[in-house]
Amino acid sequence: MKTTNLLKMKKVLFAIAITTSIFTGCSSDDDDPIVKAPVQGEISANYTTNTVLAYGNYTLKGMVKISSGVTLTIEAGSTITADKTDGEDGLVVLNGGKLIAIGTADEPIVLTEKSKVGGSWAGIIMYGDAPIVNSATAPTPQTATSEDGLGLPYGGSNLTHNGGTLKYVRVEYAGQVITTNSKEHNGFSFYSVGSGTVLENLVSYRGNDDGFEFYGGTVSGKNLISYANSDDSFDWQDGWRGQENTNWFAYQTGIANYGVEVESKSVNNTFWPKVTNMTLKRAAGTTTEAQSEIQLDAFQFKAEGNGDFSNIVIDGYNSQTTPTAFTGGAVQIRDLNTFNNQVLTGKIKLTNVKLNNTPTIFISGVSTINVSATSFGANWSVSATATGAAITGGKWATVDGVNLLANL
């Protein structure tokens, strides 16, 4: 009886040993992470049902729209490539639609163009129904028509409109201008986008128009990089009023206009946007896009544009000598109404400002005004300890081996 039990016990122990060897005797190669191969695909039709684009490489053909009530999700690490030879390309989020594009620092979502020439496609365009103000006399809510050639209305009363989430997304070589002042695109165009939308860690790289443009709305952006865009790095109009903007970096090189262009369709608003931690840098030798007007200041305010800006580094906004001599500076006020209604009433605030290689601080756009530090009072202050933007890099901020934050 004891011998039988002993034999049974030995069989059990042997079975346990075999089982253990199966799970622990694997080679070290089996411990390596599984590398997921990117899928190949084409984006050419409008999205009318919820869709997930798996991690992969996609070609973009046409002005592809995400319909109202539809969510398009793009997985981290994906690359979407337009080709200017097939016509006008762009990714458009219609009002009520959502784009969920959440990359990571090491696996950004990249939207680029085959030729790597600025102005080759339309970039990302998002519509909402957050408030805009484009007339002093029109009733609210107000609407306007887009300038992207689609001729779509934007505006409304939905402060918290949600167009989705964009994190660690880079747009390259966009800013297509087809007919000046009637059909223009930027890297990112936000038409009356609301505060429910998340914009974080975004790059607009080497576009032919503005890096980021806000057409009214209440959305805010965090950790934004506008690099080597040929017009303005950041631009807005229609009474944009985002309140939680922080860590903006503009690097202008080659051809570029203003670091920040601010206007409000000549409406003297009682509100304004707020941006903290900004670095605006202009590389030596950078010339203006057009020689017909002064376009090389860090900030330009016109048509009742305003805003509250703090912890700012302004670097390299010198005067231009060729091909046309222009005076560069830190702040330009373009017109009398903006001076009287925005500067003198404290609606333009520029505090904790550090100036490097920018000998001229204030520029008066017309002879009827004399802009100075006195004009701003306590709403202008300089500081040798201002730090500007603080942004953590990674693959999301690296293009062709170039660290976009190297000059921050």
pLDDT of 100-140, one tens digit each?
999 999 999 999 999 999 999 999 999 999 999 999 998 88
Q: Is 28 part of any domain?
A: no
pLDDT of 225 > 60? The answer is: yes
Mean pLDDT of 39-45: 97
The domain tally of the chain equals: 1
90 versus 22: the higher-pLDDT residue is 90
pLDDT of 2 > 50? The answer is: no
Band (pLDDT 50/70/90 cuts) for residue 30 is low
Q: What is the pLDDT of residues 357-401, one digit of tens each?
A: 999 999 999 999 999 999 999 999 999 999 999 999 999 999 999
* Three-state SS sequence of 220-231: CEEEEEEECCCC
Which phi-psi region, left, alpha or beta, contains residue 351 (left: φ > 0; alpha: ψ -120 to 50)?
beta
Band (pLDDT 50/70/90 cuts) for residue 6 is very low
Band (pLDDT 50/70/90 cuts) for residue 33 is low
Q: Is 82 part of any domain?
A: yes
The tokens for 385 are: 């300890």
Q: Is 53 part of any domain?
A: no
d(CA 252, CA 390): 18
- pTM of the entire predicted model: 0.91
Q: Is 4 part of any domain?
A: no
Band (pLDDT 50/70/90 cuts) for residue 294 is confident
Q: Is 15 part of any domain?
A: no
pLDDT of 304 > 70? The answer is: yes
Q: Given this model, what pLDDT does residue 358 score?
A: 97
Mean pLDDT of 301-325: 94
Residues 6 or more apart in contact with residue 234 via CB below 8 angstroms: 210, 211, 212, 213, 224, 226, 248, 250, 259, 260, 261
pLDDT of 24 > 90? The answer is: no
Q: Is 5 part of any domain?
A: no
Q: How much of the chain exceeds pLDDT 70, in percent?
A: 90
Q: Is 249 part of any domain?
A: yes
Q: Given this model, what pLDDT does residue 20 score?
A: 38
Band (pLDDT 50/70/90 cuts) for residue 27 is very low
pLDDT of 299 > 60? The answer is: yes
Q: Quote the domain boundaries for residue 97.
A: 58-402
Mean pLDDT of 46-63: 98
Q: Is 17 part of any domain?
A: no
pLDDT of 292 > 90? The answer is: no
Q: Given this model, what pLDDT does residue 325 score?
A: 86
